[in-house]
Chain A
């Protein structure tokens, strides 16, 4: 592990030609003139004249692939020096540099650890740190200890100094240290200062203890942090002129969710993630900087290792419509195939400028995922991770339990009552009975907890094993993973098996070949039907409050296996009968890419890459035989449906990139030129059959009526792009990009579209370093402008009119089967569509203050989405229902802030806080001249309410009928029947889009025990609750108790003549008015929530274990809890996110999803 510099370091470091060239290049830039040194490997040529030491160190780091670690006490990096070496080894260079400075250095791995020479050490500066195991015999007081990082891993090379002196030591590779305290210090407290570059320094007062456990917290300055940007181009963080966010893989692996993106809720500023109430295998809804268009899907582009992958949303009413009746289940999305354990890093590109190089696909930002392609360090590594959580359904209902099942104040007293969904019966009293089903007499008493009686406790278990290796010229990472989920809905589950292989290899020092192959096999079993009453557990939320669940289960079917009628409305399928519904979705997916990069010279490279995402998705599902809901089959058959669907999706991306990077004096130039060809093909075979010969045999062969379809869609986008960056003195960066796309889906005149961007970054803390105070660690301002688009709105073949021939023939009067044909679709074909366009301005500020204990990243953006493709409704009288036109325009403006703070770091204890918040306001600017009343309806609620876009208003306006009020604001009731009257037209209730989204994470670390608590929030939006609407009209809502005692309700208000309302209305009729009159106002709520989202408690047992079992290198155990508690909500009876639609066009139109679950479990990570 540890090598002293004097040995064979060049071989160990793998100091290659490429690195040598790079050093020459970078060092040359820094020193204001280019020296054409011999290109002699392993040799450095440096010419620094009166440069700051930190500058020199940085350049050597880059050139030699090493990293200096030191504390500010060891060396004053602002000190200026001169250094000239020609053709020298690193050893010589370091010696020449540090000897005059009286600084010791040591090579630990690829780190060069600098320390102050301990008195008595050889003058040459080699420091031999004391071993942890070293038993000192010296009588003087000695203290030993161990320094760990935030992951509780031992930290080597940490400087440990007596405060105010240069005396001290460095930790060894495992973080251990031992230090003799000088004489005469027993009386006064000794303070040790622990420091390490990239980490916050910590002072520890030594009391009587002889062992110190010190944990250092990272400081997030990381001036030279490298960020993966669009197309996989790596850039220095400080050079970037737009907002990015990087996500550490631990955020999605320790306290994880089944669809890993859901674990990021509340963690990234400006990214609004919603896990839907559609089950753990469901879609994760991601919106970056809010909804940007009137379309339903505003999801970001997902890029894995530089190549986009398919993220088709198969959610309930999502991108793909399913055939057959009553289909509102969530078939998941493309993200779920990703095994989070295989993620190396994630970057979120938020704005148009950031994603401009993706042109037509980037309007909603990009989530860039880099997977592991090699082991860390050298040698072979083995890692095992296991994660187990139990998922408990959360019941938020707070219903009335005073009056039970029945209608009009009467409880069921005759067999087969159909009031199973009504709680307008009699008042409960001891000894009362009711008759249910076939004359069963049971007590008439409240049945609380029906929801938890129906659902079960689910669990999720994930196991991942990774094998990796790394070496001088490359490495690989292979991981195998298995996830098994048992969903809270009985009979429902999800399993995923993944194999991921990544590798990289450098050949002949000029050619690097790397790639990754990812295979996933997913099986979704019976994803629940949600948001509608048919075949759905949703009816649980309007279940009569005295219905015994065990009876409901017992009487779910009759002797024939048919559903027993229990509700007046036959579409209220008995939830136990609904379990006869099956749905199997099996996805086999392979995605990955292969990259070859060739370095012509040190400043010019070319890269070619080919990537493919291919999956086949097979699905079969039924509509069970014997429901009350369906029409009986013709004689000789039983009813029901069965569908088989097979889909193949292929997206092929081939691209090349040519890059050049040169410096001319203080000016650096970086050019990239590339091209991409994207080809996408989706084919689908689907057979829908109806009515069966034999019961319970759901097959095509057993069916009476068969309807097979085959769909095909192909599209291609060819692109050329270029970027150019000019830097000045490494603190000012100007970057421009241009991308031109050619679309196969557009008419030749519209086919070619250019997307430009320009960004600037100015690191003023570096430019004005001398003028700024010491506590000002880092400061940067940035500005960007970019234009991007979206090609998804223009489907292939949108310009043509097609016909369909009906699968069934009609028997004419002569008995002959006659064909039927019709025009396909309901949208008027339009040959002149263009992709919509987003232009976005953005400015930002990044600050690091007080030795990095305070960090701020602030962005302001102004985003204009124009040329939006509006599915504009047309007059039915024209024969079609809508027309796609490029007219819509909307604006998103907002501020994002990320604040990092270390309020406390002292004696083994650190407290870190990060607070992120995004404020986003939207406005509809234009819907085209053809729209009456300047508004369009984009979605209709299942029970009540609509979602509209209204010019001049924020996007996503909830509309519905309100209660009629007179000029004085008094509610108006019908003079004849006493029921509430409704407004003549639908009225606006506000936007369903949150204004504020954010989260607060507090992390605590004490002696290796880490605790992290995340609270997130979404505020400033409304919802119309369908669940409450149903609870109201079925008499479960507590507010419907008014009038029960009297047997009538007299609404508080006036009649149409302005007289005080005195008309009595029947109780049930009064509360049912909201349904028959479609009144939404009663159910409009603030949709905001404050949620205690995650708690993670972890401890690193590495030290304890590795002492006993030497082959275990690391062991970390964490207790995790997700969706811990709702701290504040405004909507009664439901969780505000218990809502199943991913579409932005159904936002806020709540229609009862699967209950939200609380997940509690553990995560164990072992490294060998």
Chain B
């Protein structure tokens, strides 16, 4: 009994023993993981992640009738005017997960660090650009509370009305561009301009111009005011100022990689686009297109049958899928759908082709419209001609095989002067061509300007209820699951979560 008592005492002593977690704090520190990095490197990740994706071909590029994918399947989207949430979510996920998250973190790390002020302001500009694409796509979006799941514990951010988002974006672009200071430390690791402050300022003001022009329908006064500020600040001066991401073998052009991989024979140039370029004798068609003459199947889309002359190109009409297109194939006297013209995946859609975010050509065309509207000074016709010329010259950036000879440019520009009464249509039709492969911008400007004049996609069984064209993309299903209250507030404010609902600036 005595032994038992001492045994129990020992038990009691042992259980009350302390120090059972000795060394645990040290053990739970990961000795090899990075707990901080230079935020400039995160900025680079954000910029590279902003590159347009394959999903932009599935909606935006199809909506504006530049390309078409007739094939059904999981990718069914713009070609059927279909609300495919798997694809509508892509801009959202890419923007918030990969871009906004990094940039928000960069802002938090650099906000109060004078030595990094240029990085801070560059980040504000790029963040504004990303938010602009998000709000142009969806309308009301999480803005002020976005990207703060970790920093502020906000896992269900509130949505801000597009009007408020634009108000803030304009301020951000204006103040950040102004605050960039060439006398302060330069962000040499920057992959777009190597930290060239002048170029960053021009990008900032060019984006401000773009944002201002976006308000032309909903608030012309404000638009004019912003255009004035942008011009005063100094927009892009030449193709050297273009915001280009130069993809390489390790960071491939996302649509280029897809079109050279499994999806090679899925996408064709749309009839409207090819016809426009052909009827205007646009030399750019030679740079863009290829047609595999006599191709009976995807396997036949090979170099020996390639024809890159503009005259040979035949665009694929919308309104069909791969099974119903046989009627059109017959009408066009082709042997199969595989014979329609395609974006040349060996040139402009090659896997290392650059991504053009904001260009001098686009900027010139916006200025042409602004000056036509008398929102700024300048010769609209000259700006228009210069916009075309710059875009044609810009194609040389894809390589020698897409470069357009100066005489051809001169011929085209001379043959297509700005004509009275058709200014807006001409300018914005050129903007449409100049924004080829920049789906979000081509679509936004089409919605804003109403040009080019396109026939609605005739595919039967459209998800569109009231509109002829898709006016916005729908929110992700995930938002309804995890951020229900906030997304429903946004829907109540801006209208049903449909492809038909117009965003704030897209006034009828």
Asked if B37 and A744 make an inter-chain contact with CB atoms under 8 angstroms apart, the answer reads no
Bound CA span A571–B149, Å = 36
- Residue from B45, B92, B101, B261 within 8 A of A629 (CB atoms): B261
- Residue from A416, A628, A745, A799 within 8 A of B262 (CB atoms): A628
Bound CA span A936–B96, Å = 21
CB within 8 Å of A: which of B55-89? 71-74, 76, 80
Asked if A816 and B194 make an inter-chain contact with CB atoms under 8 angstroms apart, the answer reads yes
Asked if A662 and B4 make an inter-chain contact with CB atoms under 8 angstroms apart, the answer reads yes
Q: Whole-angstrom distance from the CB of A1078 to the nearest CB of chain B?
A: 8
What chain B residues lie within 8 Å of A722 (beta carbons)?
Answer: 11, 15
Asked if A408 and B4 make an inter-chain contact with CB atoms under 8 angstroms apart, the answer reads no
Contact with B along A795-823 (1 / 0, CB 8 A): 01101111111101111111010111111
Bound CA span A570–B264, Å = 9
CB within 8 Å of B: which of A698-752? 704-705, 710-716, 718, 720, 722, 740, 742-745, 748, 751-752
Asked if B37 and A821 make an inter-chain contact with CB atoms under 8 angstroms apart, the answer reads yes
Is A33 interfacial (CB 8 A cutoff)?
no
Q: Which residue of B lies closest to A873 (CB)?
A: B482
What chain B residues lie within 8 Å of A564 (beta carbons)?
Answer: 299
What chain B residues lie within 8 Å of A826 (beta carbons)?
Answer: 97
Asked if A660 and B37 make an inter-chain contact with CB atoms under 8 angstroms apart, the answer reads no
Is B142 interfacial (CB 8 A cutoff)?
yes
Q: Whole-angstrom distance from the CB of B36 to the nearest CB of chain A?
A: 7
Q: Whole-angstrom distance from the CB of B82 to the nearest CB of chain A?
A: 8
Could you list 10 further interchain pairs (A-B, Cβ under 8 angstroms) beyond the known A632-B351, A810-B44, A976-B461?
A418-B299, A718-B20, A805-B34, A812-B189, A813-B246, A819-B41, A829-B150, A874-B482, A878-B156, A879-B148
9 smallest CB-CB distances across A and B, nearest first, come from: A879-B101, A878-B149, A821-B41, A932-B484, A416-B299, A877-B142, A976-B460, A570-B262, A874-B155
Asked if B191 and A813 make an inter-chain contact with CB atoms under 8 angstroms apart, the answer reads yes
Q: Which residue of A lies closest to B335 (CB)?
A: A414
Q: Which residue of A lies closest to B101 (CB)?
A: A879
Is A78 interfacial (CB 8 A cutoff)?
no
Q: Whole-angstrom distance from the CB of A1082 to the nearest CB of chain B?
A: 17
Known A-B contacts A803-B36, A883-B149; A604 and B104 likewise in contact (beta carbons under 8 Å): no
Is B29 interfacial (CB 8 A cutoff)?
yes
User: Mind listing 28 A-B residue pairs with CB under 8 Å?
Assistant: A565-B299, A568-B298, A571-B262, A631-B351, A632-B260, A691-B249, A797-B29, A797-B30, A802-B34, A813-B194, A818-B41, A819-B41, A820-B45, A821-B34, A822-B42, A823-B102, A826-B97, A875-B142, A877-B100, A878-B157, A879-B148, A936-B481, A1069-B323, A1075-B72, A1075-B73, A1076-B72, A1076-B74, A1076-B76
What chain B residues lie within 8 Å of A874 (beta carbons)?
Answer: 149, 155-156, 482
Q: For chain B, what secondary structure do more than half of its interface residues adopt (helix, strand, loop), or is it mixed?
A: loop
Contact with A along B463-500 (1 / 0, CB 8 A): 00000000000001011111111100000000000000
What chain B residues lie within 8 Å of A607 (beta carbons)?
Answer: none
Is A872 interfacial (CB 8 A cutoff)?
yes
Q: Whole-angstrom distance from the CB of B431 to the nearest CB of chain A?
A: 25
Asked if A875 and B72 make an inter-chain contact with CB atoms under 8 angstroms apart, the answer reads no
Is A133 interfacial (CB 8 A cutoff)?
no
What chain B residues lie within 8 Å of A933 (beta carbons)?
Answer: 480-481, 484
Asked if B7 and A801 make an inter-chain contact with CB atoms under 8 angstroms apart, the answer reads no
Known A-B contacts A691-B249, A720-B15; A714 and B27 likewise in contact (beta carbons under 8 Å): yes
- Residue from B28, B37, B105, B351 within 8 A of A797 (CB atoms): B28
Is B141 interfacial (CB 8 A cutoff)?
yes
Interface centre among A796, A801, A932 (most CB of B within 10 A): A932
- Residue from B48, B142, B300 within 8 A of A810 (CB atoms): B48
Q: Whole-angstrom distance from the CB of B73 to the nearest CB of chain A?
A: 6
Known A-B contacts A813-B246, A874-B156, A877-B146; A1069 and B72 likewise in contact (beta carbons under 8 Å): yes
CB within 8 Å of A: which of B1-43? 3-4, 7-8, 10-11, 14-15, 17, 20-21, 23-25, 27-38, 41-42
Is B250 interfacial (CB 8 A cutoff)?
yes
What chain B residues lie within 8 Å of A937 (beta carbons)?
Answer: 481
What chain B residues lie within 8 Å of A416 (beta carbons)?
Answer: 296-300
Asked if B27 and A802 make an inter-chain contact with CB atoms under 8 angstroms apart, the answer reads no
Is B154 interfacial (CB 8 A cutoff)?
yes
Q: Whole-angstrom distance from the CB of B131 to the nearest CB of chain A?
A: 11
Q: Whole-angstrom distance from the CB of A66 to the nearest CB of chain B?
A: 30
Interface centre among B3, B141, B191, B321 (most CB of A within 10 A): B191
- Residue from A418, A751, A976 within 8 A of B21 (CB atoms): A751
Is A125 interfacial (CB 8 A cutoff)?
no
Known A-B contacts A744-B27, A976-B460; A873 and B478 likewise in contact (beta carbons under 8 Å): yes
Asked if A660 and B4 make an inter-chain contact with CB atoms under 8 angstroms apart, the answer reads yes
Q: Which residue of A lies closest to B480 (CB)?
A: A932
B interface residue count range (under 10 / 10 to 19 / 20 to 34 / 35 or more): 35 or more
Is B177 interfacial (CB 8 A cutoff)?
no
Contact with A along B278-302 (1 / 0, CB 8 A): 0000000000000000001111100
Bound CA span A744–B142, Å = 37
Bound CA span A545–B146, Å = 52
Q: Whole-angstrom distance from the CB of B233 to the nearest CB of chain A?
A: 22
Interface centre among A716, A748, A875 (most CB of B within 10 A): A875
Known A-B contacts A408-B323, A797-B33, A879-B147; A805 and B41 likewise in contact (beta carbons under 8 Å): yes
Bound CA span A799–B30, Å = 11
Bound CA span A813–B245, Å = 8
- Residue from B38, B141, B249 within 8 A of A821 (CB atoms): B38
What chain B residues lie within 8 Å of A418 (beta carbons)?
Answer: 297-299
Bound CA span A564–B250, Å = 26
A interface residue count range (under 10 / 10 to 19 / 20 to 34 / 35 or more): 35 or more
Asked if B35 and A803 make an inter-chain contact with CB atoms under 8 angstroms apart, the answer reads yes
CB within 8 Å of B: which of A610-628? 628
What chain B residues lie within 8 Å of A796 (beta carbons)?
Answer: 28, 30
Asked if B45 and A821 make an inter-chain contact with CB atoms under 8 angstroms apart, the answer reads yes
Bound CA span A799–B35, Å = 12
Bound CA span A318–B384, Å = 58
Known A-B contacts A797-B33, A878-B156, A1066-B323; A631 and B101 likewise in contact (beta carbons under 8 Å): no
Is B362 interfacial (CB 8 A cutoff)?
no
Q: Whole-angstrom distance from the CB of A653 to the nearest CB of chain B?
A: 16
Asked if B296 and A878 make an inter-chain contact with CB atoms under 8 angstroms apart, the answer reads no
What chain B residues lie within 8 Å of A634 (beta carbons)?
Answer: 249, 351-352
Is A977 interfacial (CB 8 A cutoff)?
yes
Asked if B24 and A673 make an inter-chain contact with CB atoms under 8 angstroms apart, the answer reads no
Bound CA span A714–B74, Å = 42
Q: Whole-angstrom distance from the CB of B145 to the nearest CB of chain A?
A: 8
Asked if B102 and A822 make an inter-chain contact with CB atoms under 8 angstroms apart, the answer reads yes
- Residue from A415, A631, A931, A1078 within 8 A of B260 (CB atoms): A631
Known A-B contacts A819-B44, A822-B102; A671 and B141 likewise in contact (beta carbons under 8 Å): no
Known A-B contacts A631-B257, A874-B482, A930-B156; A819 and B194 likewise in contact (beta carbons under 8 Å): no
Known A-B contacts A751-B24, A803-B37, A931-B482; A977 and B154 likewise in contact (beta carbons under 8 Å): no
Is B190 interfacial (CB 8 A cutoff)?
yes
Asked if A604 and B3 make an inter-chain contact with CB atoms under 8 angstroms apart, the answer reads yes
Bound CA span A660–B3, Å = 10
What chain A residues lie within 8 Å of B33 (beta carbons)?
Answer: 797, 800, 802-803, 824
Is A397 interfacial (CB 8 A cutoff)?
no
What chain A residues lie within 8 Å of B376 (beta carbons)?
Answer: none
Known A-B contacts A796-B30, A823-B105; A873 and B481 likewise in contact (beta carbons under 8 Å): yes
Is A828 interfacial (CB 8 A cutoff)?
yes
Asked if B20 and A828 make an inter-chain contact with CB atoms under 8 angstroms apart, the answer reads no
Contact with A along B85-126 (1 / 0, CB 8 A): 000000011001110111011000000000000000000000
Asked if A879 and B149 make an inter-chain contact with CB atoms under 8 angstroms apart, the answer reads yes
What chain A residues lie within 8 Å of B183 (beta carbons)?
Answer: none
Is B218 interfacial (CB 8 A cutoff)?
no
Q: Which residue of B lies closest to A975 (CB)?
A: B461
Is A889 interfacial (CB 8 A cutoff)?
no
What chain A residues lie within 8 Å of B44 (beta carbons)?
Answer: 810, 818-821
Q: Which residue of B lies closest to A571 (CB)?
A: B262
Q: Whole-angstrom distance from the CB of B308 to the nearest CB of chain A?
A: 19
Q: Which residue of A lies closest to B153 (CB)?
A: A828
Bound CA span A634–B34, Å = 32
